[in-house]
Amino acid sequence: MTEEKAKVTFLPENLSFPAEVGQSVLEIALDNGISLDHACGGFCACSTCHVIVKSGMQLLTEMEDNEADQLDEAAGLTLASRLSCQAKIIQEGEIIVEIPEWNRNFAREEH
């Protein structure tokens, strides 16, 4: 039995990666070396992993109240904003997300 596949493209780099149903957008970014801040470690306790879903929103889990509350604190909030730690793939297809400009190219120490 094979896993269902999806593809996630990260803008502005325009880099695409295969993904599996059940993975979060944050997991895919981190697994593939995409620099995406995530101060709380992916536990929906901050808004630093904010992304804007350009296409494929229907392929992701629905937003829950806790995520919506955290997103209220995000800079550059749009109607297509999601926390990448909470946006999990629920079916195969292509998802395109943009990392907001304020969250790009931060210097971070690797652990």
Decide if 9 is inside a domain: yes
Tens digits of residue pLDDT in 56-103: 999 999 999 999 999 998 889 999 999 999 999 999 999 999 999 866
76 lies in a domain? Answer: yes
Domain assignment present for 108: no
Count Cβ neighbours within 10 Å for each residue of 99-111 and write b for 16 or more, e otherwise: beeebeeeeeeee
Q: What is the pLDDT of residues 46-57, one digit of tens each?
A: 999 999 999 999
Torsion sign, CA atoms 73, 52, 80, 30: negative
For the entire predicted model, the pTM comes to 0.88
Radius of gyration, alpha carbons of the chain: 13
The CATH code of the domain that includes 64 is: 3.10.20.30
Q: Is residue 109 part of a domain?
A: no
Residue 7: enclosing H or E segment and its boundaries? Answer: strand 5-11
- Domain hosting residue 83, numbered range: 5-103
Has residue 111 been placed in a domain?
A: no
Instruction: With beta carbons less than 8 A apart as the criterion, state whether 13 and 101 touch.
Output: no
Question: What's the structural domain count of the chain?
Answer: 1
